Every structure is written in structure tokens, then in C-alpha cells.
Chains A and B, each alone.
Chain A
Amino acid sequence: MMSKQELRDRPNAAHHYVIRAVAVLLGLGLLGSVCLEAGTQESEARQKIRRFSLELLGGGARLDPAGLNLLSDSGDRFQEFSYEDYYHYLLQNRLLRSWSKETSGERARVKTGLLPGLRLKYHLFDSFSVSAGFQYLRGGGSDDFMFSYTRNELSDERYIETLTAAPYRLTVEAALASIGLHFAHRFGRFITTEAFLAAGPLWAVCRYRSNWTYTWEIQGPNYTWAPYDSTGSLEMDGSGKGLFWETGARLEVPVGGRLRAFLEGGYARQVIDSLSGQGREAQGQSSESWEGEWRIQKETVAAPWGTISLRTPSNRPRESVGTEDFRLDLSGLRLRLGLSLIF
């Protein structure tokens, strides 16, 4: 369990860690390059002509921003509590004959992302190059969902409660600028392998959008009533910046002329420790907007049929509520394909 002070210090700690890692690897790279220099005079002569390569890359990111995904987790848990647990309570107290449930879709979570990018590489030596790059990450998505509960009342009427969320959208986006170090080793004439380390700043945003419709319908023996319906929406945005680093390896093959194709994979650590942004909620005839820092807000729900604790990330400022730090953690495995043009 980290203290608040430790959590506040995290950005600095990450910063130092990245700088230290870059310095160590830079030193190792230069040392390796000097050692290899004698044996690569011929190659160097060839590369003096073409030292640059431009790389276009695109791929996927495995994401699991647990803090942000708590929004959907919290929604699922409250749904179960306020419908299923409640109906169970009514059944136990003989206030309901039976109930059933239908669902389609589910609350969206951020699990994967797309990762296009561009990288300019300068080959200092055959086995060592440096790069500057830019990547754009977009993750999450829109997953409309619907649930409908049918209650068979003691009066022989059926109450049908239906909630449709369309869209229910949870997305993240990040822009990453990096410098990188690349250590190459050629196997035979065609295959080159490479290890790399990149680091730099990132700017990220997260967005939550939900437009929902709730209806309550009563079905009797020869009538159907719609006593209540409601629509609403909730939008929350957050943006913040941080530092990231990424390490991995790649396999590169020539595909003709000065063009080479590569496949690279690795792990990226991308954490934003503080986000803030605007929010807006509308329900029925009322609406409210705000601006605030994202926090995980802790709530205890105590109804006659039970109690649950919820942790829900939000940027809505609230007094008198327990909170935890919210971090947008976009770390995870990365896999990319790309083309490299040497010039």
C-alpha cells in the first residue's frame, strides 16, 4: 500500500528511472559500437551513403486501465445489486412471484488499442542507431448494451424494466513522442534482429459517454401501460500528461529495393498520474456540468436488501466522499508491423 506522499512522488520516480535507463543503455550502446567498429569498416563505408531510415508502423496494444474500467465494473455491480439482489429480496419476502432477465451487449471496457506511428532512425553504426518517433494510441470502444428484467407481480401483472445504453463508450487516446536506441544484429543476408528502448513524453485523454433510456412497462391481462420512461446521458472527459518508456525486439527482412518490413513487439509502461476535464450529465429535464480532477470515489450503498461498496472513477467534484488517486495506466504489450525505407 503506497502512501499519498509516495503516490505524489511517482511521476518524479518514473522520470528518474527512465533517464537512468536511457543513460545506461546509451553507454552500453556506445561501448558496443566501439568494439564492433574495427570489424565493420567495410559495412560502415556502405552505410555512410544511406544512414537514415523512415519507418511507418501500425499495430495493436493490449491495455487494461483498471482505474478507468472501474466505471463499467461499478455499473455491472450496481445493476446486479439493484435489480437481481433486490428481486431476490422481494422473492424471499413473498412480494414477488418470479423474475427473469434478458441482456444483449455489455458495458464497454478498454482492453485493446490501435497504435499507428512514424519513426525516423539514424544509423550511427551498423549495429546501433537512434531514432525519434511519434505514435498515436487509441483504445476502447463503443459497446451498446441493453438489459431487461421482467417481474411477475403478486397481482399477476408483469413489470418490465428495460435499460438501453446506446452508445456506451469508453475510450482512451494518447500521443507519444519518443527517442529510441536500437541495437541490431544481422543473421545471414536477409534477417536482422533488433532490441530497442524508447522513452518520452505522452499526452493522454480518456472519454466516457453514455446515452441511456429506461422504460417501465406494466402488462396486465388485457392492457399495457407505460407509467414511466426516462432518458439521460453522462459524459466525462479527462486529459493529462506523463512519461513513458517501451522496450522490445524486432525482426526485419528486406522486401525489395530500399524497403524493409519488420515485426516488433514489446512492453510499454504508460501511466498518467493525474487527469482532469469536463463532465456533463443530463437526466429528464435537468442537466449539470462541471470540471474537475479524476478521482476514484468510494461509495457504500445500503439498501434494505443489502450493502455493497462501489469504487467509481469520476471527475465530478464532490465533497464528503472518500476518494483514491486515479491513474490512467495504458501499460501493456505491444505488437506492430511496419515498413522501413532506407535513404
Chain B
Amino acid sequence: MKRLIFISLALTLLISDGPALTAETAAQRIQNETGFMSIEPVTFYFHYGSYFNRLSLTSSQARIWYSFQAADLDSPRTPIFIFFNGGPGSATSSGLMSMCTGRYTLDNRLDPEGSVFVPNPVSWTSLGHLLYIDAREAGFSYNLMNQPENEGERFQEFNAQNFNSLFDAADYIRLLLRFLRSHPSLRDRPMVIVGESYGGTRATAMLHLLLNYIDYANGTEVYQDPALVQEIQDHLEAVFPAYAGRAVPADVIARQFGHQVLIQPTVSFGYQLVIQDEMFRRAGSPLYKIGEEVGLPFDPQAYPDIYEYLRAANRDAYIYTKPAGWLNGFFNRAGVLLRTVQNLSLVTGTDVTSVPELYASARRNAYRFISASSNVGPEPGSSDPVIQELFEIPARKEQENVLPEPGNMSQVFGTLQPWDQYFLATNGPANWAFHVFNIAKVRGYDVHFYDHRYGRMFLKNLAHVQTFITNAPLDLVVYAAAVAPSLARHTGLVSSVEHVTAGSEARPGQIVVHYVSGAFPEIPGLSSRTIRFPIYTQSAHAVSLTQPLDLYQDVRSWLREHGIDLP
């Protein structure tokens, strides 16, 4: 049966692999594309105002993996959706790309085990072009170094020079702008940033970098990346030629980068964690309901770590009505499936054997993790529940789960070095580098993703960027009810934040942010902004997997209401 499904999918691929259906001429046709974007070593620095005492860091060369799926119909105003998952260190390819956004997907309704990719009836290619990007060292992306065989050297690669929230956002901007530069017909399209989970922080950092780009080279911001700023300037001058040779204002930049769809996001992560923990411990919280259902009453004193309680109750933190590991099972299965050439070709709509950087011969200096015997090393010892949860993603099992049949990547592309790997759903050392082995954090720079600067950045972005956030109350990892209160904690910027639950939509919900007068002096007259906040009552953290049609419809309606031309 599976073989039949595979053959039918392969035939479909043969039909669809090629020029997408567009209104353009053959010469201008926009096609699916899969590959790697090379990011050269970049020198950037952190500072608190002293140029002499800045922390200067130089990244390693990276090959960042992307998959571009052309829209079903193209017009000069067809938007580009830029997708990424979170972690940090988690793959987009086994996340959003495999979960009911592209043309092929795992679908928990059609195939509860997630064992095969099937055509997606609600492909977002009907809304626009899709660009999926795996973060540095996540998914298919990999770094290069001299002497990758040296484990001590590899250990030092997993640090702030390659992993911090601002440089990570800069990676995405670099890839995006270079992709647009090489596709002139797409260069001025409206962009819709779609981030899931930690992807909310990444979207926040990306948009702040883009909208305030001058401040990232003139010493104003803590992160200084002059090469990136030049690249942004070049892009903006191409899109807005009237601003050639001068700084482009944020409201003009937002004409292109003016929409974000955030799925169960971290937007002010530090406050979100504190607030959701308080909420979980209040009487009547989901944990008490779980206790009644499973006969294991929740005792806040006995479980200082609420995720420990969820494990004891055998419930999935990402959707507490499901058994433990339910959602990670999908991520993991997607990762296993994608490590065959056939499946990856099917999902991306391209022939991945034509991607030279996938071949072992092209990646002799590549590395993916520290210890050649396991993905996760050194062992995480953090008591941080989110980190513990992240490390539960069975990356190690993934290595044992390479499909044995012909077509797995080792057989097609060659055998990799023990420290390299074709695919990692979540790169534990990369995540750990954001968290612990991070020299910027140790030296006191408040750039860790729990720091409140990201909440402030989000609130500033919100002045220019139309924003859509999902509200999936069954998700206890990013508990959506904590989003509005977390924004309200930024009392220097906002006077109040309302969560409006009523509305005429099928899935109503809004967050209304009221700013204090002069919150951002450079944005005069800023008084309030409204975030669309629809509720998905049956959804896991991965809303696109569990309520795909609802999310698709809500995003389509919302984009239409907010100035995006959709078919």
C-alpha cells in the first residue's frame, strides 16, 4: 500500500516538478528551487557603548539550506512567505515544511502515524511563494571549519560566534536578500514572515534588524554588523530607488516587510515563561484538569518543574490532550522520511540529487555536532524545563532511524564523517550554544532570548508590522494565554494590553496593545496596535498540523484585510 502511495506521489512529483503555474512567460517562469546559500565568515560585535571594549566575534562559514516552492499563480504582487521553526536549533524542513503548508505534507488526519507525505489540500502555494529556511546547523544546514576531526575545536564552534539570537536573524536576512537578488522578478515582493515557537523571537529580531538597520552599524544597537547593514541598504535601494544613497525609513521598509504570522511564538520569552508558570500553578489550570483525568493530582509543591508533572502524567506538553511524545513523533518521522532522496524531492518539488552541496565529497570540512557518538553532547544538565523538553526531541534515535531501503542519503550522496550528518531535526549543541556555552551571555550582553530586549523589539516592530499570532490553549510549551500579559509587563512602553475574545470571525480573538505616549520617540503618534489572535481549540503547538484548514483560511482572510493581494 505504501509503495502504491509512493508511486502515485512520485508521479505527481513528475507532473509538478518543473515550472510552477504562473502568468509569466517561459523565460520568466519562477520555479521550485532547493539548495544551500553560502554565508561567508562574518565579523560582528556586541557592545554596550564602548567601541574599545566590544566583543568581536567571527562566525564560521555556513551552508544554509532552503527550499523555495513557487506559488500556484504568480503576479507582480504575489507575496513570499518565509517559513522557519524555532528551537533555537530546530529544523524548518521537518517542521513547518512537512506540516500542512507546502504541496506535500504529513497530515495527522489522513495518516495518524505520519508515516508518509501526502498531497496537501490546503497548500499555502495558493497564497504565494514559499521559502523554507533551516537555521544554521539545523535540518540540512551545516557549517564548515578547518580540522573538523578535532573534537575540542568542534566544541568551540558551538558558541556565540555562530549561535546567538541576533546573528541567527542576520543569517536569515542574508539568505533572504541574496535569494531575492538572484531572483530579480521576486525582489520587490511583499514578504510575510511565518515563524513558529522560538521563530517568534527570530521574526522579531529579523524585523527589528530590517526596520532599524542603520542602528546596527552606527553603534546604537548592542549588535553591530556593518556588512549586513550594507547588504540591507543595497536591497532597499533596489526596491525603493527613490532612497538611493540615504537611510530608508521604517515605514517605507514595512511596505515590503510588513506582515508576520507567528505560530505559538515567543515574543517576550522571559516574561512569557514567568507568567505561564504562574498561570499553570493557579487553581483551574490545565494541569489540574489533567490531574483529574489521569488520577494524578497536580501538586505545585511536589512539581516545581511542571514538565516533570506532564511526563509523570504521560501527557504531551505541546498538546496536553495527547500522550507524551505525540507531536515530537511527527517531527521525528518527518526527519526520518526526509532523509531519503525520493521524499525530499517530493516535498521540495525539486530533484535534490542536483544539489552539489549535499554530496559527501563537497562537505569534507562539514560538522554538525560535537560528539561523534551522539548529537547531544556535552550532556545538558539544565534544570530549565523548556530546555529539557527541547532535548527530548529524539535526535539520537533519528540517527538509528535512517530508512534502510535504497534512496537513503548515504547511499546516494556518500558516507559522511562521523561528526557530520545529512539531517538533524534539532541540533542540541546549537541550542545549548544559545543558552549556556555563549560568551556573549557570560560577558553580560543581554542578547539571550529570555532577555527583555526582544519584547521591546517586538513592540516597536508592531508599530509598523501587521501581526497575526495563534492562540492554541492546549499548548503548554508556549502557553498563548501568557502572550498578552507578557507584553503588558513592558510598562515603560505600554499602558495596557487587552485580550479581546469576542468577534464575528469563526475563530475570534485580538490583542490590543496601548502604548504610553512617546514610547518610541522616533514613531510619533503611536497610540495602539491590534494583533489578530484567533483561537485554535484543538491545536497542538504546531497549529498548521492540527488545524491546517482553519489556519490557512484565517491567514488568507487576514492578509486580504491587510493589504496583501491574494488569488
- Residues of B contacting A161 with CB < 8 Å? 442
Contact of A318 among B51, B161, B378, B383 (CB under 8 A): B51
- Residues of A contacting B442 with CB < 8 Å? 159, 161, 216, 228
For the residues of A in contact with B, the DSSP-based class is strand
Asked whether B52 lies within 8 Å of A284 as measured between CB atoms, the reply is no
- Residues of B contacting A318 with CB < 8 Å? 51
Asked whether A299 lies within 8 Å of B49 as measured between CB atoms, the reply is yes
Judged by a CB distance under 8 angstroms, whether A78 is at the interface is yes
Contact stretch, chosen from B53-61, B273-281, B389-397, B474-482:
B53-61
Judged by a CB distance under 8 angstroms, whether A223 is at the interface is yes
Cα-based distance from A37 to B160 in the complex (angstroms): 82
Judged by a CB distance under 8 angstroms, whether B12 is at the interface is no
Asked whether A285 lies within 8 Å of B41 as measured between CB atoms, the reply is yes
Contact stretch, chosen from A49-57, A116-124, A300-308:
A300-308
B118-168 contacts to A (CB < 8 Å) = 152, 155-156, 158-161
B158-187 contacts to A (CB < 8 Å) = 158-161
- Residues of A contacting B52 with CB < 8 Å? 74, 78, 297, 299, 310, 312, 314
Cα-based distance from A310 to B160 in the complex (angstroms): 26
Judged by a CB distance under 8 angstroms, whether A92 is at the interface is no
Cα-based distance from A302 to B442 in the complex (angstroms): 17
Asked whether A82 lies within 8 Å of B443 as measured between CB atoms, the reply is yes
Encode contact with B along A218-237: 1 for CB under 8 Å, 0 otherwise: 00000101111100100000
Cα-based distance from A250 to B509 in the complex (angstroms): 92
Asked whether A301 lies within 8 Å of B53 as measured between CB atoms, the reply is yes
- Residues of A contacting B160 with CB < 8 Å? 228
- Residues of A contacting B48 with CB < 8 Å? 301-303
B42 to chain A minimum Cβ distance, whole angstroms, is: 10
Encode contact with A along B371-389: 1 for CB under 8 Å, 0 otherwise: 0000000100111000000
Residues of chain A at interface, number, CB under 8 A: 34
Judged by a CB distance under 8 angstroms, whether B446 is at the interface is yes
Asked whether A225 lies within 8 Å of B56 as measured between CB atoms, the reply is no
- Given A82-B444, A155-B381, A285-B41, A229:B49 Cβ within 8 A: no
Asked whether B51 lies within 8 Å of A228 as measured between CB atoms, the reply is no
- Given A303-B48, A312-B52, A227:B437 Cβ within 8 A: yes
Asked whether A229 lies within 8 Å of B57 as measured between CB atoms, the reply is no
Encode contact with B along A54-71: 1 for CB under 8 Å, 0 otherwise: 000000000000000000
Asked whether B159 lies within 8 Å of A228 as measured between CB atoms, the reply is yes
Cα-based distance from A321 to B49 in the complex (angstroms): 10
A262 to chain B minimum Cβ distance, whole angstroms, is: 45
Asked whether A305 lies within 8 Å of B218 as measured between CB atoms, the reply is no
Residue of B nearest to A227 (CB): B437
Asked whether A310 lies within 8 Å of B43 as measured between CB atoms, the reply is no
- Residues of B contacting A303 with CB < 8 Å? 48, 444, 446
Judged by a CB distance under 8 angstroms, whether B291 is at the interface is no
Asked whether A320 lies within 8 Å of B218 as measured between CB atoms, the reply is yes
Judged by a CB distance under 8 angstroms, whether A286 is at the interface is yes
Judged by a CB distance under 8 angstroms, whether B508 is at the interface is no
Encode contact with A along B444-474: 1 for CB under 8 Å, 0 otherwise: 1010000000000000000000000000000
Cα-based distance from A225 to B378 in the complex (angstroms): 9
- Residues of A contacting B382 with CB < 8 Å? 155
Asked whether A228 lies within 8 Å of B444 as measured between CB atoms, the reply is no
Encode contact with A along B57-82: 1 for CB under 8 Å, 0 otherwise: 11000000000000000000000000
Asked whether A299 lies within 8 Å of B50 as measured between CB atoms, the reply is yes
Encode contact with B along A313-334: 1 for CB under 8 Å, 0 otherwise: 0101010110000000000000
- Residues of B contacting A300 with CB < 8 Å? 49
Cα-based distance from A78 to B53 in the complex (angstroms): 8
- Given A216-B442, A284-B58, A223:B378 Cβ within 8 A: yes
A159-197 contacts to B (CB < 8 Å) = 159, 161
- Given A82-B444, A223-B378, A301-B48, A284:B56 Cβ within 8 A: yes
B391 to chain A minimum Cβ distance, whole angstroms, is: 16
Judged by a CB distance under 8 angstroms, whether A283 is at the interface is yes
- Residues of A contacting B41 with CB < 8 Å? 285
Residue of A nearest to B57 (CB): A284
Encode contact with B along A129-170: 1 for CB under 8 Å, 0 otherwise: 000000000000000000000000001000101000000000
Judged by a CB distance under 8 angstroms, whether B439 is at the interface is yes
- Given A78-B50, A86-B444, A285-B58, A320:B378 Cβ within 8 A: no
Cα-based distance from A226 to B155 in the complex (angstroms): 8
Residue of A nearest to B47 (CB): A301
Cα-based distance from A301 to B160 in the complex (angstroms): 21
Encode contact with A along B278-304: 1 for CB under 8 Å, 0 otherwise: 000000000000000000000000000
Asked whether A286 lies within 8 Å of B43 as measured between CB atoms, the reply is yes
Asked whether B439 lies within 8 Å of A216 as measured between CB atoms, the reply is yes
B494 to chain A minimum Cβ distance, whole angstroms, is: 20
Judged by a CB distance under 8 angstroms, whether B270 is at the interface is no
With most chain A CB atoms within 10 A of its CB, the pick from B52, B158, B161 is B52
Asked whether A321 lies within 8 Å of B51 as measured between CB atoms, the reply is yes
Residue of A nearest to B378 (CB): A225
Residue of B nearest to A282 (CB): B56
- Residues of B contacting A228 with CB < 8 Å? 156, 159-160, 437, 439, 442
- Given A228-B156, A301-B48, A304-B446, A82:B53 Cβ within 8 A: yes
Contact of B444 among A227, A229, A305 (CB under 8 A): A305
- Residues of A contacting B50 with CB < 8 Å? 78, 299, 301, 310, 312
Residue of B nearest to A283 (CB): B56
Cα-based distance from A94 to B52 in the complex (angstroms): 30
Contact of B439 among A74, A227, A285, A305 (CB under 8 A): A227
Residue of A nearest to B381 (CB): A155
Asked whether B156 lies within 8 Å of A227 as measured between CB atoms, the reply is yes
Cα-based distance from A303 to B50 in the complex (angstroms): 10
Residue of A nearest to B220 (CB): A320
Residue of B nearest to A155 (CB): B381
- Residues of A contacting B156 with CB < 8 Å? 226-229
Residue of A nearest to B446 (CB): A304
Cα-based distance from A268 to B219 in the complex (angstroms): 41
- Residues of B contacting A225 with CB < 8 Å? 155, 378, 437
Cα-based distance from A342 to B356 in the complex (angstroms): 87
With most chain B CB atoms within 10 A of its CB, the pick from A86, A228, A286, A320 is A228
Given contacts A155-B381, A161-B442, 14 further A-B contacts (CB under 8 A): A155-B382, A159-B442, A216-B439, A225-B378, A226-B155, A228-B160, A232-B56, A284-B57, A285-B41, A285-B43, A285-B58, A297-B51, A303-B444, A314-B52
Q: Which 3 A-B pairs have the closest CB atoms?
A: A286-B43, A227-B437, A228-B439
B residues touching A (Cβ–Cβ < 8 Å)?
41, 43, 48-53, 56-58, 152, 155-156, 158-161, 218-219, 378, 381-383, 437, 439, 442-444, 446
A residues touching B (Cβ–Cβ < 8 Å)?
74, 78, 82, 86, 155, 159, 161, 216, 223, 225-229, 232, 283-286, 297, 299-305, 310, 312, 314, 316, 318, 320-321
26 intermolecular pairs with C-beta atoms under 8 Å apart? A78-B52, A78-B53, A82-B53, A155-B381, A155-B382, A155-B383, A159-B442, A216-B439, A223-B378, A225-B155, A226-B156, A227-B158, A227-B437, A228-B159, A284-B58, A285-B58, A286-B56, A301-B48, A302-B48, A303-B444, A304-B444, A304-B446, A305-B444, A310-B50, A312-B52, A314-B52
